[in-house]
Amino acid sequence: MEKNRLGKSDLYVMPLTLGCMSLPLDLNESSKIIDYALDKGINHLDTADLYQFGENEKMIGEIIKHRRENIILTTKVGNHFDSKKQSWYWDPSKEYIQSAVDASLQRLQTDYIDLYLLHGGTSDDPIDETVEAFEQLKQVGKIRAYGISSIRPNVIKEYVRKSKIDAVMMQYNMLDRRPEEFLDDLHENDISVLARGPLAKGMLSNHSEKYIEEKGKDGYLEYTGQELKAINSKFRNENESLNSVALRYVLHHPAVKSAVFGARTVEQLMTNLDSLFLPKLSNDKIQQIKNCTTFFPYSTHR
């Protein structure tokens, strides 16, 4: 299976990434999931320092410490948190980033982070200072590449203009097509997209009816609950796994290098891994999906 290069970095990831936020905080159960994913070819794990206030990083570090060299590891920074009070505030300062990376390295039991992402961001941030912090961390070898996790157009555009980011992580799926506004621009700038939420909270999974009832009954983005059910009925008429269609949809655009999905069980993981071995969706299929859904542009943070 061919790996995809992230930006201009020397990082190459599989088309699917295991997002670790939803892993059970049980070392044995999560070890089974991660080990299975790695054994089946996934090489990219995504976590963040804020997940469970550092406990997620600790667990990941313990699980992968014996096979670290075979893994592309992403974590995030910017939420200045107090694990005892379980509170946090936004802090993209150079001082905080350079102290937070050391804490993450310790929790992850590693001496480098492959991809370090700013976990959010606003146009009021000291962006030049933030970029300087990341660049210095690259120079000393604590990180190999950096990027941002954001859905704010004004923030993304500033980082494209002011930095050498290799990746942007953003929510993207067949229902949330907002990123399609600037996928072409990111691709032209050699900036890779990591698509999180490709299954839309399960509403684009093989159990879509259940999740639409649980999480979409009051709507999702600009869709009403009834519109979600109508769209789902069209998707469900297909013979293919909806998981695989949803994952392959976001991977269709060349800017998107990996779809980041979560799994709470090995069974959930197995359902998504099938997508690695299926052909890309045809242009006709992509257009059919677009005809069933609506493109809503970002209305804020312009």
227: burial class by Cβ within 10 Å (0-12, 13-18, 19+)?
A: middle
Of the candidates 26, 101, 53, the residue with the CA atom closest to the CA atom of residue 264: 26
For residue 189, the tally of other CB atoms under 10 A from its CB is: 14
Helix, strand, coil tally for the chain in percent (to 5): 45, 20, 35
The Cα–Cα gap between 291 and 2 comes to: 30
CA 146 to chain centre: 14
CA angle 188, 194, 197 (to 5 degrees): 135
Contact 130, 96 (CB under 8 A): no
Instruction: In whole angstroms, give the CA distance from residue 52 to residue 57.
Output: 9
Contact 190, 168 (CB under 8 A): no
Q: Check 36, 51, 223, 298 and give the catalytic one.
A: 51
H/E stretch holding 256 reads strand 256-262
Contact 7, 145 (CB under 8 A): yes
Distances (CA, A) of 130 to 87, 98, 145, 162, 235: 22, 10, 14, 10, 42
51 catalytic residue (yes or no): yes
Active site (catalytic) residues: 51
